Amino acid sequence: MPLTGPSLGMLRVLLVEDSPEDAELMCEQMLDAGLEASFERVESAEELREALSRFSPDIVLSDLSMPGFSGNEALQIVRGWHPDVPFIFVSGTMGEENAVAALHQGANDYIIKHQPARLPSAVARAVRDARSTIDRQRVEAELMRAQRLESLSLLAAGLSHDLRNILQPLLIMPDLLKARTEDPQLHHLADIIAECGRRGHEMAESMLSFVRGSRKPSEQICIAHLFEAVELLLRSNLPDKVSLHLDVADDHLAVDANYTELQQVLLNLSLNAIQAMPKGGRLTLRAAADRDGQGEEWLRISVTDEGIGMDADTLSHLFNPFFTTKATGTGLGLISCKRIIEGAHGSIHVDSQPGVGTRFDLLLPMREITDTADAVDGPIAAGTGQSILVVDGEATRLSLLGNALSSQGYHLQLASDGAAALRWMQQEAMPALVIADAGSKLLSASHLLGEMAALGFRGPALVLEEADVTVPLAVFPPTINVHVLRKP
């Protein structure tokens, strides 16, 4: 009877059968019913294992009893190779008890050889059911992955807020340290602290960008300067047996990307490379222009190590979320690198051999540095004892702002909330400047400045807003000159 339903395409059918005549009859039965298929016959465990690997069947049809080999053994071998490949017993000696036992062991169906009319439809149904199962598993895996990434996004949003508060001292203290000493070594340490603080702060903002699905603004990055910054940050993490080599083919190589994100990628790959060389070796960062087959020019950045390398199975899962080969790894570093590079309209490639080493290649759109006049920052004007009132509910930021402004010659009055600020203004005098946190829970900056305006304060005022919350100027009293700045 011809089969109905959508075409299954060309099937690969593996027959576990010791009788060539019976195998030929089954093949003719399926072809006459309209199945498109190629066939292969085996009759021993060794032949079965070899055929599974080479032939990759869509379905296995097996006799129950054969000289020196049984269908039950064949079923165990097939299930060990792939648990979802359909397996049907086709036997002339299968009784009801054997049929029930076979289904319990994992067979999909059974056919009596002397009643073969049902064979084509059973094969078609088993193949369709198996494909449906595989499709469902794939959808469930994608759903699970999406749920895990959604949970990660919520975690990233909370961590980003807390991390920015923790990192604020690293943004302010280096300048205060450098202003109090001429020691070049301390200046160098202050530069490292400032670079780490800036990188950490921008990474926290990148976490928010990931949650919101927005991109950080790009800038023109000089690759030579980027390599120097990476070398500065890696210097303290290099074991004695690992040497770092930088190779920039042209000092004018540049790329449009987010500086902190690209630096994060190079640090991630470099630290992975260092961990992959427990016995030491050479870590090389190289940048050069490259041209593809269409003549388009790209910037190729390579991170190469002489470590333990990776096998093909590890490489196939390398950019999967939460996949890691480290006992304490998170499995998020490389997928983050891939997201950053692809967000900059580039691509990431990896080549690795066990026992030889690994090379990551980053291909990014090429851009040469344009000659622009360097901006020269003028000297910061020192204060002469002017009174500044700082209102901030975050104790760490309040203390840091106070120390920073006091060191510049200003007289500081610190208030942890709006009520304390208003009491001081009523009891003392009008400050020359008010600095207020826009995110105050008890008394917002707009209400606070409104109360201050009623007391006679005419400004100016600086309002510090969060990176992801814009404060409109229209909410502030028109009599006070208000400037809105992002929080440091």
Higher pLDDT, 155 or 116: 116
Contact indicator for 409, 384 with CB cutoff of 8 Å: yes
**pLDDT tens per residue, range 68-107:** 888 999 999 999 998 889 999 998 776 777 778 888 888 9
CA proximity to 488, closest of 215, 109, 247, 197: 197
Residues recorded for the chain = 488
Beta-carbon neighbour count of residue 488 at 10 Å? 14
**pLDDT tens per residue, range 166-194:** 776 777 778 778 888 888 888 888 888 87
Q: Round to whole Å and give the CA distance between 383 and 49.
A: 84
301: part of which helix (H) or strand (E)? strand 297-305
* Least confident range of 218-232, 399-413, 429-443: 399-413
**pLDDT tens per residue, range 31-40:** 999 999 999 9
Structure confidence at residue 214 as a pLDDT band (50, 70, 90): very low
Q: What is the DSSP string of 143-206?
A: HHHHHHHHHHHHHHHHHHHHHHHHHHHHHHHHHHHHHT---HHHHHHHHHHHHHHHHHHHHHHH
Q: Calculate mean pLDDT across residues 153-164.
A: 68
296-313 burial code (b ≥16 CB/10 A, e <16):
eebbbbbbbbbbbbbeee
- ∠ CA 389-390-396, nearest 5°, is 150
Predicted pLDDT at 126: 93
Contact indicator for 199, 459 with CB cutoff of 8 Å: no
Structure confidence at residue 378 as a pLDDT band (50, 70, 90): very low
59-62, strands of its sheet edge to edge: 37-42, 11-16, 59-62, 87-91, 109-112
Where do runs of H (alpha helix) occur along 317-417? 333-343, 395-406
Tokens for 157?
């949003």
Query: What is the set of domains in the chain, with CATH numbers?
Result: 11-133 (3.40.50.2300), 219-368 (3.30.565.10), 387-486 (3.40.50.2300)
Q: What percent of the chain has pLDDT over 70?
A: 83
Predicted pLDDT at 373: 44
The pLDDT of residue 374 is above 50: no
Identity at 427, one-letter amino acid code: Q
